[in-house]
């Protein structure tokens, strides 16, 4: 068979070696089948990734359009709010009511900004940021506010890592991921680990990647949950508790805007890890 595949159509088998040749044929056939199955599996994975990216891109485009229109409406409301409240006397019921409306406007504005971030349409002023300083601040806040049953482990291995980003966005990434990890161990207690390290890619020390890893010792997620965690409004929490399902969506949008990647590793009953990778040119310099 090998000879025929090479174009030697006159090749024939030796009758005295039928057993040996047949075993070779079976082995070769099994190898070809394994290679074929592996190709199909790899193609399937690539198609799933492409389909997911296209779906997220479509959702981001739609969300960005809605957020833009909603922002225009909020601007209109806010303008008339300023006109009306100037005509009211402080301390009156009317003035207090308008202040409540102002709070609602601010909440709506923040929500629109989250959607804009997810759709990567928010304007950001990027500059070299020492990410370890932001992470240490986040860890300090976590240690001061989390319950005693939850310990925070600081594994920031290297401090002189700079990324091109906006400080508030990096802080938002850290706090959103840590909040998500906290929710996973809130009931049972456990360990929340914040890790920062630098990895060299493809043997080139100038092509470095900043790896931010947030890990918790929670119960883990099944494959279906992992597939949906970056979908807007998807949450496994009870309705009305602990967020709206936009935390990881916002993280995904920020990471994408920084030209980074985000990955999740988790199994039910196992340990979970969320990675934030940024490959900006100035990393590691």
What is the DSSP secondary-structure string of 199-219? EEETTEEEEEEEEEEEEE-S-
Residue 115 corresponds to which tokens in the numbers above? 């959607």
Q: Could you state, in chain order, the average pLDDT of each consecutive group of 10 residues for the chain (285 residues)?
A: 75 70 78 83 75 66 74 85 89 89 83 67 71 86 84 84 83 86 86 88 68 89 81 66 66 82 82 58 52
Place of tokens 């739609």: 62
What pLDDT shows up at residue 55? 67
Cβ–Cβ < 8 Å for 273, 264: yes
Fold of 127-278: Heat Shock Protein 90 (3.30.565)
pTM of the model: 0.53
The domain limits of the chain are 1-123, 127-278
260 in Cβ contact with 279 (< 8 Å): yes
């Amino acid at each position: 068979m090998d000879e025929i595949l090479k174009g030697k159509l006159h090749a024939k088998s030796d009758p005295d070696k039928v057993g040996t040749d047949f075993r070779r044929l079976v082995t070769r056939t099994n190898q070809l089948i394994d290679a074929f199955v592996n190709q199909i599996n790899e193609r399937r994975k690539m198609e799933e990734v492409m389909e997911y990216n296209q779906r997220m891109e479509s959702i981001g485009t739609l969300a960005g359009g809605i957020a833009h229109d909603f922002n225009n409406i909020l601007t209109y409301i806010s303008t008339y709010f300023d006109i009306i409240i100037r005509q009211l006397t402080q301390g009156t019921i009317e003035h207090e009511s308008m202040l409540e409306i102002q709070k609602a406007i601010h909440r709506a504005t923040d929500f629109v900004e989250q959607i804009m971030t997810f759709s990567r349409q928010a304007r950001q002023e990027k500059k070299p940021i020492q990410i370890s300083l932001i992470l240490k601040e986040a860890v300090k806040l976590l240690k001061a506010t989390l319950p005693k049953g939850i310990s925070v482990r600081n594994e920031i291995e290297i401090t002189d890592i700079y990324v091109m980003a906006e400080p508030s966005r990096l802080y938002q990434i850290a706090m959103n991921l840590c909040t998500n990890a906290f929710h996973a161990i809130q009931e049972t207690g456990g360990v929340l680990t914040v890790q920062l390290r630098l990895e060299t890619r493809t043997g080139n020390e100038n092509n470095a990647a900043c790896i931010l890893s947030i890990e918790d010792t929670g119960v883990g997620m099944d494959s279906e949950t992992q597939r949906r965690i970056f979908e807007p409004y998807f949450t496994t929490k009870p309705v009305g508790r602990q967020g709206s399902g936009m935390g990881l969506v916002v993280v995904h949008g920020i990471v994408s805007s920084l030209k980074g990647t985000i990955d999740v590793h988790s199994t039910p009953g196992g340990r979970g890890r969320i990675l934030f990778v940024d490959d900006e040119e100035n990393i590691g310099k």
